[in-house]
Amino acid sequence: GIQVEQSPPDLILQEGANSTLRCNFSDSVNNLQWFHQNPWGQLINLFYIPSGTKQNGRLSATTVATERYSLLYISSSQTTDSGVYFCAVSRFTGTASKLTFGTGTRLQVTL
């Protein structure tokens, strides 16, 4: 199956700093999502980005599918950005879907 690696595994930032989270995957995919898991466990959709670049406020993401990686940028980080960020991919065939998740990047933003 597809392997998904995320880096770094842990990240500590001061409020206001910028960061880049990386997701590498081992095979071609046509689905890629970034999630933020809140302290209660819910996965919050950040981006659906099988290719290209998207921006949403302080967050942006880029996926280069041909080179099998995606990047999540967080600018001017806030304490509310703390939590675990997951990248998940799939090879959607039109008849079935199964997301394979990375192991996540645990982000802590301090004052």
Partner 1 sequence: KAGVTQTPRYLIKTRGQQVTLSCSPISGHRSVSWYQQTPGQGLQFLFEYFSETQRNKGNFPGRFSGRQFSNSRSEMNVSTLELGDSALYLCASSLDGREQYFGPGTRLTVT
By CB under 8 A, tell whether 73 contacts partner 1. no
* Burial category of 1 from C-beta neighbours within 10 Å (exposed 0-12, middle 13-18, buried 19 and up): exposed
Q: How many residues bind partner 1 (CB under 8 A)?
A: 22
Q: Which is nearer to partner 1, 63 or 77 (CB)?
A: 63
Give me the amino acid identity at 47: F
- Judged by CB under 8 A, the stretch of 13-21, 56-64, 67-75, 87-95 that binds partner 1 is 87-95
By CB under 8 A, tell whether 34 contacts partner 1. no
d(CA 65, CA 42): 27
Residue with tokens 């090879």: 91
By CB under 8 A, tell whether 39 contacts partner 1. no
By CB under 8 A, tell whether 14 contacts partner 1. no
